[in-house]
A = this chain, B = another copy of it.
């Protein structure tokens, strides 16, 4: 069984990809809705929260962990991997590989969009360099999570367009071949981001992580199950089910609230 977690709803964009890529996989999703957002907190707090999230998933018997959160993947992957005896996939490696591949066929330029904590970590840049890509620009987009969580996601939403205009201004001349959506909330803002960077390929870090996890499970013959999904949140059962409709094509029904501080 796969364990997936995020600070809140963003990770559901990865669940959507997982259901498409591995319809047979059973999974447990945890959204830390009592402590969202993670991306504006310090690395110490992000690590402490992430370890609790993983301890909860392990208590549910998961045999692999997908970190469906850019902030955790870039700030706590090492400590999670060294703490838990199961394969752990974050959103950095797959997306960096894919973006570097796209850039190698173009001008060699990649734009990384992430939370302040993700950009501060430098994790995507490091991984892009490992993949031979040096032309990297990174931009922190702290307002993108509240915009996505509150449904301001299309070019009809002037507030979303104006904030994206401000964030993406330095990237227009840079004209990247690929844009890494380094936070799993950001695919919801694809339309707005592409409005300013129409010639760049958007790389969903969550989707690439799912592809990487699928490869890993398949190679170990561990991809099996009945396609069952269970959802856990640390706050707001009703609000979660309602908001989840914006993130998933199919409705979320089996949702349970837990006290994350006891893990």
Contact = CB atoms under 8 A, between A and B. Distances in A.
A223 interface: no
Interface string A39-77: 011101100000000000000000000000000000000
B163 A159 contact: yes
A45 B34 contact: yes
Contacts of A235: 41-42, 44-45
A132 interface: no
- Interface residue SS majority, chain A: loop
Interface in A130-158: 142-143, 146-147, 150, 152, 158
A162 interface: yes
A261 interface: yes
How many copies of the polypeptide does the oligomer hold?
2
Contacts of A230: none
A158 B162 CA distance: 7
Nearest to A142: B150
Interface string A221-263: 0000000000000111001000000000000000000000100
A129 interface: no
Contact of A34 (B33, B41, B142): B41
Interface in A141-193: 142-143, 146-147, 150, 152, 158-160, 162-163
A45 B45 CA distance: 19
A165 to B, nearest CB: 9
A35 interface: yes
Interface of A: 33-35, 40-42, 44-45, 142-143, 146-147, 150, 152, 158-160, 162-163, 234-236, 239, 261
